[in-house]
């Protein structure tokens, strides 16, 4: 209302999605649909699994800087500070790490070293065990959302060290996905 200092936010408005539209995620193609649809689907899985909000938002932005597999760089690395302010430090860091790593192998390799190699400049980035597990959760959601990567899901399942911070709902989703693809555990 004018004059009262109250701002009205339209119903259904999502500032995170609006930022992705700024970077043309709604017009960029990905897996036979828009990049934004894929990102929203990944976020929704993480939300359904009860993952923390910063993991959900990190999942929403998981490929914003381009990855070793999806090479479209929607946002330049120079925008990291801006994105950090918009989506939060922890969520942006997960998105950045997801984009610069040789995924998914790097997430598994980091189980002992707690470092990811930046594929752009070769530097080693120290990560926590929580970040590593969050990145694996995002990777799993990314694959399930695209209905692909059953062997990767099975690899994660077979190594309890990779699933220590997964929620029960995430573990159930992994089991259902493997069963759907003929992998029994």
**181 neighbors 150 (Cβ within 8 angstroms):** yes
> Could you tell me which of 92, 37, 89, 85 has the C-alpha nearest to residue 61?
92
Q: How confident is the model at residue 82 (pLDDT cuts 50, 70, 90)?
A: very high
Give residue 163's pLDDT: 79
Distances (CA, A) of 62 to 41, 66, 107, 135, 175: 12, 9, 14, 9, 23
Predicted confidence (pLDDT) at residue 168 exceeds the cutoff of 60: yes
Predicted confidence (pLDDT) at residue 108 exceeds the cutoff of 60: yes
List pLDDT tens digits, range 116-132: 999 999 999 999 999 99
Most confident of 12-16, 42-46, 156-160: 42-46
């Amino acid at each position: 209302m004018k004059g009262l200092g109250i701002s009205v936010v339209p119903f259904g408005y999502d500032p995170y999605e609006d930022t992705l539209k700024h970077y043309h995620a709604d017009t960029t193609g990905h897996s036979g649909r828009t990049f934004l649809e894929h990102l929203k689907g990944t976020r929704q899985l993480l939300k359904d699994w009860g993952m923390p909000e910063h993991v959900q938002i990190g999942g929403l932005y998981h490929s914003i800087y381009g990855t070793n597999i999806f090479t479209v760089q929607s946002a330049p690395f120079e925008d990291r500070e801006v994105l950090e302010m918009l989506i939060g430090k922890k969520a942006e860091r997960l998105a950045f790490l997801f984009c610069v790593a040789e995924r998914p192998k790097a997430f598994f390799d980091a189980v002992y070293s707690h470092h990811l190699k930046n594929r752009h400049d070769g530097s080693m980035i120290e990560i926590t065990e929580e970040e590593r597990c969050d990145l694996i959760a995002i990777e799993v959601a990314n694959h399930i959302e695209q209905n692909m990567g059953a062997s990767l899901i099975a690899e994660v399942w077979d190594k309890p060290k990779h699933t220590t911070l997964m929620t029960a709902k995430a573990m159930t989703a992994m089991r259902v996905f493997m069963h759907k693809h003929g992998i029994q555990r």
